[in-house]
Chain A
Amino acid sequence: SAVISQKPSRDICQRGTSLTIQCQVDSQVTMMFWYRQQPGQSLTLIATANQGSEATYESGFVIDKFPISRPNLTFSTLTVSNMSPEDSSIYLCSVMSGLFDTGELFFGEGSRLTVL
């Protein structure tokens, strides 16, 4: 298993500003995933953060809006840039842990962002 800590847990932001969310894992993992959960909707994968290479973004998400860093095997950040009220959402960090790809994801508690 993996224990994931996310910061901040929640924040209220002004339109046009940027916010960086941090994700710390208690063990080394190859891939980290960033999801978004908008009110009343499902979890949507934003990107996969790979250590030593650029993140892989899903359709509809771009690096300029959601830059990601992955400096080592236990840490990643997601920045939400130039925020608008539509970016109000819960942002979740997740990892696959273990020696084998079981498909099980471990999640952080999420970062709830409200953009005014």
Chain B
Amino acid sequence: AQRVTQPEKLLSVFKGAPVELKCNYSYSGSPELFWYVQYSRQRLQLLLRHISRESIKGFTADLNKGETSFHLKKPFAQEEDSAMYYCALKGGGNKLTFGTGTQLKVEL
């Protein structure tokens, strides 16, 4: 079975502060990990995937197989980063398993 855990329902930070959204997973094989984001009144969309090893909107995420984690980080939070963030795992087949999501609120 595959499982994704996001321990924080809500994360509140000040503008300019570092952000770390936690994600842990459980999967016996070699996983593909993703972060999806949903801004207010917009549809859910892909933010980044671990395979690409890219930085999107200043966000990065490193897959740590030893700790089975895929935390999302940004050094300096911006107001426009306020959104709902979902970590997702793709194991065997085409099925994506999502975490429960973390609401990020960036305060001025």
Q: Which residues of A contact B (CB under 8 A)?
A: 31, 33, 41-45, 48, 58, 92, 96, 101-110
Q: Which residues of B contact A (CB under 8 A)?
A: 4, 32, 34, 36, 43-46, 49, 51, 86, 90, 94-101
List chain A residues, Cβ under 8 A from B51: 103
Q: Decide if B44 touches A103 in the complex (CB within 8 Å).
A: no
Given A103-B34, A104-B46, A108-B43, residue A42 in contact with residue B86 (CB < 8 A): yes
Q: Decide if A41 touches B44 in the complex (CB within 8 Å).
A: no
Given A104-B46, A110-B43, residue A45 in contact with residue B94 (CB < 8 A): no
Q: Decide if A103 touches B32 in the complex (CB within 8 Å).
A: yes
Alpha-carbon distance between A110 and B44 when the two chains are bound, in angstroms: 9
What are the 6 closest A-B residue pairs judged by CB atoms, nearest first?
A42-B100, A43-B98, A107-B44, A103-B90, A42-B98, A104-B46
Most chain A CB within a 10 A radius of its CB, from B44, B90, B95, B100: B44
Nearest-neighbour CB distance to chain A for B83, whole angstroms, equals 14
- Chain A residue at smallest Cβ distance from B87: A42
